[in-house]
Amino acid sequence: MKRIEFGELRIGDTAKKYIQHCLDTDWISMGPKTELLEQKFAEIMGTKYAVATSSGTSSLVAVTLALEELCPRKVVRGKSNIICPALGFIANSTAIVSGRLKPNWVDVKPDTLNMDEDLVEEAIDEDTVAIYAIGTMGRPSEMDKLKAIADKYDLILFEDACENYGSKFKGEFSHKYAVGGCSSMFQAHLVQAGEGSLVYTDSEKLRDLIVSIRSHGRHGKSAYFDHLRFGSNFKTTDLCASVALEGVEQFHQNIAERKNVWQQLVDYSAQFKDAAWFSEEPEHMEVMPHGFSITLKPELNGKISELTDIMDKYNIHWKRNFGFCGSHTALKEFVDKDYPWATWCGDNGIHVGTHRFMSQDDIDRINTAIGEFFNE
């Protein structure tokens, strides 16, 4: 029985054509293919600008470093903090620390796995400078609420959309409520390149800062050793951009195919909603499925290993629902209180893939595994 992977990359003819052109012209570092990717991605996302970087993490570090010149509030290195979800892939928090600021975690809602917007305002203090929203599993946060809070306190709102770029909130892309967003082009994500990311925005200032920071803080047209600000090497390559271009050209088709997989899992799991929280799509959102999450309710405490054993039995690649960010050794110094729902969702929840290359047999096998667990 072949394993059902969380994500799968297949390099098609379009990508191979772009890659071959790189090889024929002896240009594989950042160059014309990267510029073409930035142009096409900005068009897809409806923004004025897009800047390519080496990873979603690199994008978040670069944005965090940019806050020093972008924020209305004064940014103090090592002291200022950023509101962010207490649950999620560790990169959101470690990027903040790498950018020389502190994560200010807010607990999540178990039914969405996203930051509880009703807890954000009470977490803001005199050192808060920004809010990082995450769209976990492809479902955007309640962006209008976060924007209202950000505007009230003169904070920068940025969307870490590595899992949900392409999602919509109240009819428009969710990043439109923020200064911008960033993507991931890792193998499991919507547009795939192995590695890579884009920061997309309508802000010329943010665009210019990311262009500088991704190249060791240089001015865009300066001499090699004219460094204006702190930065690093966050550049991508034209080889990665060549693979990503195929995904951008198939952007809407890819979302539709992922949505077909995801919707079948949603529809089947609805019968078990009294026992667990599953991924779902409210009427005012359009989810871009990154994965399908299953979070057991407290009544099933202690049963998660039974669920994962069944997933293993059917050879389904599953992942833990991340867990509380502060549970990782690298971030323990920032823990100042308990985050019960982030901890619960990490310990009692998993997610499986919804990638476009899943067959109907794959979908049926995942539903069979879900049914076997909840019908026991």
Residues 178 and 312 in one domain: no
Q: What pLDDT score does 221 carry?
A: 66
How far apart CA 245 and CA 18 sit, in angstroms, is: 8
Residues 218 and 327 in one domain: no
Residues 274 and 199 in one domain: no
Phi, psi of 200 (to 5 degrees): -125, 140
How far apart CA 135 and CA 346 sit, in angstroms, is: 16
Distance of CA 353 to the CA centre of its chain: 14
Q: Is residue 291 part of a domain?
A: yes
Model confidence at 53: pLDDT above 80:
yes
Q: Is residue 4 part of a domain?
A: no
Residues 189 and 167 in one domain: yes
Residues 192, 244: contact at Cβ < 8 Å? yes
Model confidence at 217: pLDDT above 80:
yes
Q: What pLDDT score does 219 carry?
A: 81
Q: What is the pLDDT of residues 74-131, one digit of tens each?
A: 999 999 999 999 999 999 999 999 999 999 999 999 999 999 999 999 999 999 999 9
If you average pLDDT over residues 216-229, what whole number do you get?
Answer: 80
Measured from the Cβ of residue 335, the count of other Cβ atoms closer than 10 Å reads 16
Residues 166 and 266 in one domain: no
Segment among 108-117, 217-226, 267-276, 320-329 with least mean pLDDT: 217-226
Q: Residues of the chain with pLDDT > 70: what percent?
A: 99
Residues 227 and 262 in one domain: no
Task: Find the CATH number of the domain harbouring 162.
Answer: 3.40.640.10
CA-CA-CA-CA torsion sign (247, 180, 89, 293)? negative
List of residues 6+ apart from 285 with CB closer than 8 A? 139, 140, 167, 168, 169, 170
Q: How confident is the model at residue 226 (pLDDT cuts 50, 70, 90)?
A: confident
If you average pLDDT over residues 48-71, what whole number do you get?
Answer: 98
Q: Is residue 149 part of a domain?
A: yes
Q: Is residue 351 part of a domain?
A: yes
Q: What is the pLDDT of residues 322-362, one digit of tens each?
A: 999 999 999 999 999 999 999 999 999 999 999 999 999 99
Q: Which of 249, 269, 291 is the last residue of a domain?
A: 249
Q: Which of 230, 249, 268 is the last residue of a domain?
A: 249
Residues 69 and 218 in one domain: yes
Residues 271 and 214 in one domain: no
Domain count for the chain: 2
Q: Where are the alpha helices (DSSP H) in 161-288?
A: 204-213, 238-249, 251-269
Q: Which of 249, 273, 304 is the last residue of a domain?
A: 249
Q: Residues of the chain with pLDDT > 90: what percent?
A: 97
Residues 307 and 363 in one domain: yes
Q: What pLDDT score does 225 carry?
A: 78
Q: Is residue 364 part of a domain?
A: yes
Residues 166 and 202 in one domain: yes
Model confidence at 141: pLDDT above 80:
yes
Count of residues in the chain: 376
**CA-based diameter of the chain, in Å?**
67
Q: What pLDDT score does 376 carry?
A: 83
Q: Is residue 95 part of a domain?
A: yes
How far apart CA 236 and CA 87 sit, in angstroms, is: 28
Q: Is the pTM of this model over 0.95?
A: yes
Domain that holds residue 212: 13-249
How far apart CA 166 and CA 163 sit, in angstroms, is: 9
Model confidence at 222: pLDDT above 70:
no
Q: What is the pLDDT of residues 145-202, one digit of tens each?
A: 999 999 999 999 999 999 999 999 999 999 999 999 999 999 899 999 999 999 999 9
List of residues 6+ apart from 176 with CB closer than 8 A? 46
Residues 324 and 351 in one domain: yes
Q: Is residue 311 part of a domain?
A: yes
Q: Is residue 316 part of a domain?
A: yes
Task: Find the CATH number of the domain harbouring 299.
Answer: 3.90.1150.10
Paired tokens of 367: 């539903």
If you average pLDDT over residues 52-67, what whole number do you get?
Answer: 98
Q: What pLDDT score does 223 carry?
A: 64
Q: What pLDDT score does 62 carry?
A: 98
Residues 227 and 256 in one domain: no
